[in-house]
A and B are shown apart, each in its own frame.
Chain A
Amino acid sequence: MKNYVMGVDFGSTTTKTVILDLKGKMVAACVASKGSISAEGVQVSMDGALAEAGISRKEILRAVSTGYGRRMIDIADQSYTEITCHARGAVALFPQARLVIDIGGQDSKVIAVGGDGLVSQFAMNDRCAAGTGKFLEALARAVQVPLEEMGPMALAATEKLTISNMCATFAETEVISLLAEGQSKPSVLGAVHAAIASRTVGLVARVGMREPAVMTGGVAKNKAAVQFIEQALGAKLLLPPDPQIAGALGAALFALDEVTTPGAGVDEEDQADDTMLIARGCATKPCQKPKEVPLVGPMR
């Protein structure tokens, strides 16, 4: 029996998979990190989610892909962009959300969502890694601090320093100069996170600040990044239990719409399409994370 739908978010550095049953309950979620655009990562993430759910691939009724590598996933019946899917996932988790700030490994996006859960406006950094996970990664290397330690360390900053360059390479030079001046690592890392925050404020300004705002993507797991962004925006951010899976959840919800809405899935007849699209905007109930299933799978 095919009783499940799957959403796969093939990002630039990690792949996330979410499996829902046909009532919209999340039965598994798995994040796999295997480096840039890795087919192996996709496999690990999907297999991890299937194992967690205790089902086989044959039981997946429909799959929707998203993310940087969305067109490379063979099993997907449909694909949508990560902007559309993150908005959908975030609104499912927080129906009151009107703004989604998604900072991933390679790019960052700010998405305004309407009351119907549809994207109304968005802005995206599309040229360089400024203000993304890659920016943090490069500067963690420059400061010689493991990536996962840089957030806690930045929270211990005592001096308010500034990094003005948004280009990761130039910012690295600034970081090195600050360290050479004798500034402490925590303060330098504080400046790195403040730089991410000011970049995010710039993106938010392009769309217009709305509240409540949700933060998704891998960088939302970094407490310092969240705190600096909250300070810069002057607003509290809503944080999902696992912010990384919002896009995969959104994709899975689209897959669910397509199997639960009459007429959907009969490949793109105009009328069916229309009905389906309306349903996507508002018909599906927000998905609740089941208590017994860990949101993060074995491969992180």
Chain B
Amino acid sequence: MSIDAIYSAFERAAEQPLESAKAWKQTHGTRVVGSFPMHFPGELAHAAGCLPVILQENHEPITVGHGMIYPFYCGFTRSVVDQACKGDYDFLDAIMFGDHCVQVLGAADVVRAKLPNTRVHFYQLISSMSDPWSLGRARETFLNLKEGLEEMIGHPIDEEATHASIRLFNKNRQLLRKLYDLRRAGDARITAKQMQILVKSSMVMDKAAHNDLLGRLLAEIEKTKAISQRGMRVYLSGHFCQSPKIGVLDMIEECGGIVVDDDLYHGQRYISTDVDETGDPLDALAKWYLERNLKVPCPTRVDQNADWENYLLDAMERSRADGMIVLMAKFCEPHMYYYPEIKEAFEKRGVPHLLIETEHELNSFEGLRTRVETFLEVVKRQSAARRIAA
């Protein structure tokens, strides 16, 4: 299989997640469990013999959904509601919601109302991460989730099956992180679009099939010699529940940026942390939930020991990025509340960054292109001045 063919296989799943899940269901006869991003432990649904699929914002204009949700909700929630209203989720056997932000709660209510015959399970995850009771409460929630899945399949989820799923998911994260390492070091040219496709497809494909494709991709990449690239090294930050539009990613790279790293949910945030492969699986998953917020801090969670702005400054240094582009989904409250702290820290440190607000309806990139190009021109001048001064 050529590199192009491998990427095409990933792209099909990433771009048509529901179609690909439906096809999987038909050929394999498994149940499909849709989940909301960002903290759902897909391992449990997998151990229950289901295909876990993280629901995605799609590219369709929002139409009937407008009757159910206000236009000042983020694009992800509006799109999910619209898909539910259009019957796109009818084939799902269950939908699992977490309450990572207020807007998701609004979407959950509509989805529940629109899918009366679908098992809809709501789980409330503790958002305060460093209290003495945080671990216990997270475990309780995952136990509750496991019981919901068991009720659906009609039998208990086997502990060994859960361990096997954890190993499979860890392997997937490790393979993806390896690709990130190769890109960061300049040993592989993986565009921002390609990286997104790799991670997004992992959210919707069967993990074993995904691992198999990743293995082939790595083998092909190792055979090819990386070509040195010219351009400004860019770190991408932001976008939680929805993947940034491919057009925006391509535009950044067309303007002369090379995306070398990110903290996107459709990126590092999703693959940052592995789950302990030994001991009680629920303990391990609860620990994973708390730990991943320290690995890549999330503004929807509260943790005394995590601070996103310093994480970003360090991450930029690690990836030798020249500048950071923040992609903020319009009306994403957690991001909007946190951003001023990032702005202040970056300005204090003199690290250039550009804020881009994105929205579901964003289709013309011309104005954005001018801003990105100017930003890269500024970054280029500043880093040249720094290099010469040094």
Interface residue ranges, A against B (CB under 8 Å): 68, 80-84, 107, 118-120, 122, 124-127, 268, 270, 273-275, 277-278, 280-281
Contacts and interface: CB of A to CB of B under 8 A. Distances in A.
Given A126-B367, A277-B380, A83 B385 contact: no
Contacts of B368: 126
B384 A277 contact: yes
A103 B34 CA distance: 48
A281 B377 contact: no
Chain A contact residues, majority secondary structure: mixed
A268 B230 contact: yes
Interface residues of B, number: 17
Contact of A118 (B366, B378, B387, B388): B378
Given A68-B366, A126-B367, A126-B368, A273 B384 contact: yes
Interface in B365-390: 366-368, 370-371, 373-374, 377-378, 380-382, 384-385, 387-388
Contact of A122 (B230, B374, B380, B388): B374
A125 B374 CA distance: 14
B377 A119 contact: yes
Given A126-B368, A127-B367, A268-B230, A274 B374 contact: no
Given A277-B385, A281-B385, A81 B373 contact: yes
Contacts of A124: 367, 370-371
Contacts of B366: 68
A140 B179 CA distance: 56
Contacts of A127: 367
Given A80-B377, A83-B374, A119-B374, A278 B385 contact: yes
Interface string B342-378: 0000000000000000000000001110110110011
Contacts of A281: 381, 385
Interface of B, secondary structure class, is: helix
A125 B366 CA distance: 12
15 contacts: A81-B373, A83-B374, A84-B374, A84-B377, A84-B378, A107-B367, A107-B370, A118-B382, A125-B367, A126-B368, A275-B388, A277-B384, A278-B381, A281-B381, A281-B385
Given A68-B370, A281-B385, 15 more contacts: A80-B377, A81-B377, A83-B370, A84-B378, A118-B382, A119-B378, A126-B368, A270-B230, A273-B380, A274-B384, A275-B388, A277-B384, A278-B384, A278-B385, A278-B388
A126 B384 contact: no
A273 B383 CA distance: 11
Contacts of A273: 380, 384
Given A118-B378, A119-B377, A119-B378, A82 B370 contact: yes
Contacts of B367: 107, 124-127
Nearest to A281: B381
Given A68-B366, A274-B387, A278-B388, A118 B371 contact: no
Contacts of B380: 273, 277
Interface string B109-151: 0000000000000000000000000000000000000000000
Interface in B264-310: none
A126 B380 CA distance: 23
B75 to A, nearest CB: 15
Q: Which 8 A-B pairs have the closest CB atoms?
A: A126-B367, A83-B374, A274-B384, A277-B384, A81-B374, A81-B373, A277-B381, A84-B377
A102 to B, nearest CB: 12
B329 to A, nearest CB: 15
B314 to A, nearest CB: 24
A202 B368 CA distance: 19
A124 B384 CA distance: 25
Nearest to A273: B384
Contacts of A126: 367-368, 370-371
Nearest to A122: B374
Contacts of B377: 80-81, 84, 119
Nearest to A126: B367
Contacts of A118: 378, 381-382
Contacts of B371: 83, 122, 124, 126
- Pick the most buried of B377, B380, B387, B388: most chain A CB atoms within 10 A of its CB: B377
Contacts of B381: 118, 277-278, 280-281
A213 to B, nearest CB: 19
A110 to B, nearest CB: 12
B230 A274 contact: no
B261 to A, nearest CB: 22
Nearest to A275: B388
A68 B365 CA distance: 12
B385 A81 contact: no
A168 B388 CA distance: 47
A68 B366 CA distance: 8
